[in-house]
Amino acid sequence: MKTINDINFKDKKALVRVDFNVPLNDDFEVTDTTRIHAAKDTIIKILEDEGSVILMSHLGRPKGNQEEFSLKHIVAAATDILGVQVKFVEDCIGDAAQQAAANLQPCEVLLLENLRFYSEETAGDAAFAKALSQLGNVYVNDAFGTAHRAHASTAIIAQYFDEKCFGHLMTREIESLNKVLETPDKPVVAILGGAKVSSKITVIENILDKVDDLIIAGGMAYTFIKAQGGKIGDSLCEDDKMELALEILEKAKSKNTNIHLPVDAITADAFSEHATIDNAAIDAIPNGWMGLDIGEKSRSQFHTVLMQAKTILWNGAAGVFELEPFSHGTISLGKSVAASTAAGAFSLVGGGDSVAAVKQFGFDDQVSYVSTGGGAMLEMLEGKTLPGIAAILD
């Protein structure tokens, strides 16, 4: 397979699918530019070859052509980050797009309007994909965050190109995950957090074989504790998943994977930062109280496990970190992952709220790799083949 470094883009028009689905504030300013920064080296490589770059992305989930979802809102941020004036065209197919692409000179960058203004994008419509493909002569997919979608611009389009490759970001994401799940230095420790067992079942099943230690933090721990006969008060629990929780514990035993559950909790008498707060053993939480974070003893036990790790995978928060009183367990995990990384471990943070947490608490520079993918990373952890990746490999 060709990598982006194997291709000389001189005088070529590269159609690059990026994931510029970034958050905007009420003034339509980009509030988190991570995904734009992450695509920069791919774009610069093409420009340095004296090729031209046609960027295509979605933004949000618009219903038809809704101005608030226009990618024009990100032109200023992209221009600033790339250090090149980004041109913009108010459509992604049709005459205007074709003209703009045809007029594009070497070393110039053009951004197309939101792909999802056409329902054909998410439908994976072949005619729409073909129309997009006519704008360029090389296809580069660097949209890791959208690689789990079988959409026109992420998957269907690839068949219309002889020359296609992943961008640098896509390659980094795939290599980082392989470093954790396929060729890791041992011991491998995974931290799984988040509220629900049901949303992480497939991830747990896929990684049980691959890790030495599995730390289960977050709301889903309570289903495991209750299943083992513990009293969890009013903590979150999926009663219909208790049997499954016991099966997972059994399976882990047979695979010699150590599962580490919290031993204590920060409890509250309401789901609020103004609640009365207390501590309890994880299996002795009184009625009327709920566990909303891991306690001190759990933090220190998890720290010990993490300091022995050579490879760490972190997905999901330890508690309700959005509320200050219940953020300290997640912050403590972040500190432990950072300390272990400083001592030589490779650490990957990916999928959903753990990425938000490491950014919010400033650990993103202290771990080895922070994924740009939420759902995409989760599906990779589940062992699925992502359509956006498969389309390039085909």
Residues identified as active-site: 35, 196, 352, 375
The answer to whether residues 43 and 28 touch, using CB atoms and an 8 Å cutoff, is no
Q: What is the closest distance, in whole angstroms, from the C-beta atom of residue 374 to ligand 3PG in the complex?
A: 5
Residue 93 — φ and ψ, nearest 5°? -135, 180
146 binds, among ligand 3PG, Mg ion, none (CB under 5 to 8 A by kind): ligand 3PG
* x-marked contacts with ligand 3PG along 36-65 as a string, rule CB under 6 A: -------------------------x----
Distance of alpha carbon 140 from alpha carbon 163, whole angstroms:
9
- Nearest distance in Å: CB 101, Mg ion: 28
Q: Are 224 and 260 in contact (CB under 8 A)?
A: no
Q: How many residues bind ligand 3PG (CB under 6 A)?
A: 8
Answer for which of 303, 375, 383, 390 binds Mg ion (CB under 5 A) is 375
Please name which of 321, 339, 340 lies closest in space to residue 330, comparing C-alpha atoms.
321
The SS3 of residue 160 is helix
Does residue 21 bind ligand 3PG (CB under 6 A)?
yes
**Spatial distance between the Cα atoms of 390 and 155, rounded to a whole number of angstroms:** 8
Does position 124 interact with ligand 3PG (CB under 6 A)? The reply is: no
Q: Select the binding partner of residue 145 from Mg ion, ligand 3PG, none (C-beta < 5 to 8 A, by kind).
A: ligand 3PG
- Part of the chain binding ligand 3PG (CB under 6 A), chosen from 126-134, 141-149, 292-300, 307-315: 141-149
Under the binding rule (CB under 6 A), the answer on residue 149 touching ligand 3PG is: yes
Which helix (H) or strand (E) segment holds residue 299: the answer is helix 296-307
Cβ proximity to ligand 3PG: between 146 and 327 the closer is 146
Options 114, 141, 146, 341; binder of ligand 3PG; rule CB under 6 A: 146
Closest CA to 176 of 374, 387, 33, 349: 349
Which amino acid makes up residue 155? A
375 is a contact residue toward ligand 3PG (CB under 6 A): yes
For 56, which DSSP code?
A: E
Place of tokens 């969890």: 232
Comparing CB distances to ligand 3PG, the nearer of 142 and 238 is: 142
Q: Which residues contact 203 (CB under 8 A, 6 or more apart)?
A: 192, 315, 378, 381, 382
Task: Count other C-beta atoms under 10 Å from residue 257's C-beta.
Answer: 20
Closest separation in Å from C-beta 374 to Mg ion: 5
Give min distance, CB of 272 to ligand 3PG, in A: 29
Say whether residue 66 binds ligand 3PG (CB under 6 A).
no
Q: How far is CA 293 from CA 199, 209, 278, in A?
A: 19, 28, 11
Q: Whole-number minimum distance, CB 372 to ligand 3PG, in Å?
A: 9
Residue 193 interacting entry, from ligand 3PG, Mg ion, none, C-beta within 5 to 8 Å by type: none
CA 190 to chain centre: 16
When the beta carbons of 114 and 146 are compared against ligand 3PG, the nearer one is 146
Amino acid (1-letter code) at residue 239: D
Residues making contact with ligand 3PG (CB under 6 A)? 19, 21, 61, 145-146, 149, 374-375
Residues making contact with Mg ion (CB under 5 A)? 375
